[in-house]
Structure 1
């Protein structure tokens, strides 16, 4: 396997890790409107991801940095063509991070409500737009012979891409609801399980349609295996959630995310950004990659840094593994 193939796999792993971790993170943000009935319950939901949300975004930074260094042509075309959607995602991530920190700085009702609204919308919008972006990457966009995007913003809003956005939004919301049930106690835990069942059924229908569409258009034998794993894991996750096995349900919803993202990258390879104008103008792992020397240096750096990041994040989740509820808020205030 060539180094550019290795780095395609590594970038796929980074995006998979980001969607697995930030997926339930976004989902919990969406649930602050859909599930929480009052401010204490919103505090509980936000506290479930409070210690980990910023660490989850490390995977996005790593994926973006790796793409820039390993596949500069891919990075340049992606960020020039998808400039406005990616800028909107970036703005949402910034506002969302500020909202987590500033929400409790003042006691006024309007102050806290406005920041909570920011958390909701700045979780929902990126959850949707990431699906739209990857729908376009896999489905193909208007790239000319110079590897430049020549389409318009409207070209990015195809039915396939919009369906991808709905899939990531509902899947992340389901992932977040299962995580909430795993991390909370009392009434909010039971309501999270019931909501997860309803959202999960919607997710299953949308995901099956999107993944089958992907398989028909650009799939292969390996992507078909990933499709079957994703659908089977989602069905079993729903059954585990109904049975009250939150740990199994969360693990299997995570497998669904991993398998679905893996299917997209398996369908994409060896392209990194197909051209809908002419197949010969597509960006591939070969014509979009950096020099072998650059990839070699990056491989050594990744081999040293990646285990450290994994150990740190694993330790963080272990430390903050216990369930919480509204009664813990009262104890903290006292």
Structure 2
């Protein structure tokens, strides 16, 4: 039982890492129509500046999803099977749009045509917005419960997932990631783009605060416990502090509190879910729990020792990467004569 609780916590940890890190990636991509002028050749420099803020890290951030999925498969195979079979279509859409986004990053700079770049910019926006929304829909439905039969097979339809609570969850993650991304752009850029990103983050932050508050209150009422209440309150306070710090021009603190908001919001959902992993709305006896969905104790023991050895190295490498690419992506570095880069633009230097 202790190892099952441990691995439930580790799955939550990996998804927290994914949503915090890839969340601002999604927000950066979604901000292009509001900051970079998608489809307008007059300010391609700003769009390149925006995209290059995540150039060295976007693919590294996505590896958290791979690790989370692999650990879910190994530690809770019944949960993995029911989730990926029942949510097949939304998860497939997420996968396809993530591929679309990655391809767009790599191909955008291959031609100087304004139409070519504008087309890939639109695909970046779509490839960022669709996963940001669908992840919220998926997790809201997991917490709320879905139609699992006695074989732990989802017997509902795709449209059953588009219920009011699920849609509100999707809208919450969409706005939360959007605000997180705008804050990151303000943190990583300079000049007019930095000022515009701060204004955008403030405006979207106010809307996010309203929508997220409704979603968290609904979650607390439906799954009340002191732990869930405290975590939801911490998420709300963190979001308010992020908005305040952004308004004061303290982008570093604003981004940190935005990351804390995502962290507490995701942990709130996992706390509301525990000890279930997929509740059944047909009959509570059909629900998947950490006990009936987990692997054997021996498997969990092996995984635990492996995680103990590997996780510090992963975290150190992630931290080192962010430290190396900690400087702002300035407009002058793109307009200047230096070779184009980093990873998205095809060379090692910032642009």
Report if TM-score (shorter chain) is over 0.5. yes
1:291 has 2:325 as partner: no
Distance 1:35 1:280 in 2: 50
Corresponding position of 2:246: 241
Corresponding position of 2:346: none
Tell me whether 304-313 or 286-295 shows the greater mean CA deviation: 304-313
Q: How does 1:68-87 map to 2 (within 5 A)?
A: 68-87=73-92
8 Å contact kept, 2:45–2:335: no
Other structure's SS at 2:36 match: coil
Aligned residue among 325, 330, 334 for 1:325: 330
Structure 1 unaligned residues grouped into runs of 5+: none
1:30 has 2:30 as partner: yes
8 Å contact kept, 2:180–2:259: yes
Distance 2:203 2:94 in 1: 27
1:224 has 2:229 as partner: yes
Q: How does 1:164-243 map to 2 (within 5 A)?
A: 164-243=169-248
Summarize deviations over 1:85-131 as a string: whole Å, max 9, x none: 00000001111111111111122222211111111110010000000
Distance 2:224 2:203 in 1: 29
Other structure's SS at 1:272 match: strand
Aligned residue among 82, 105, 109 for 2:110: 105
Other structure's SS at 1:49 match: coil
Corresponding position of 1:4: 4
Distance 1:248 1:199 in 2: 17
Distance 2:105 2:36 in 1: 16
Distance 2:92 2:283 in 1: 28
Aligned residue among 37, 44, 55 for 2:49: 44
Other structure's SS at 2:277 match: strand
Q: How many residues align?
A: 334
Distance 1:224 1:59 in 2: 27
Other structure's SS at 1:104 match: helix
Corresponding position of 2:121: 116
CA positional deviation for 1:220: 1.1
TM-score normalized with structure 2 length = 0.94
Corresponding position of 2:343: none
Corresponding position of 1:257: 262
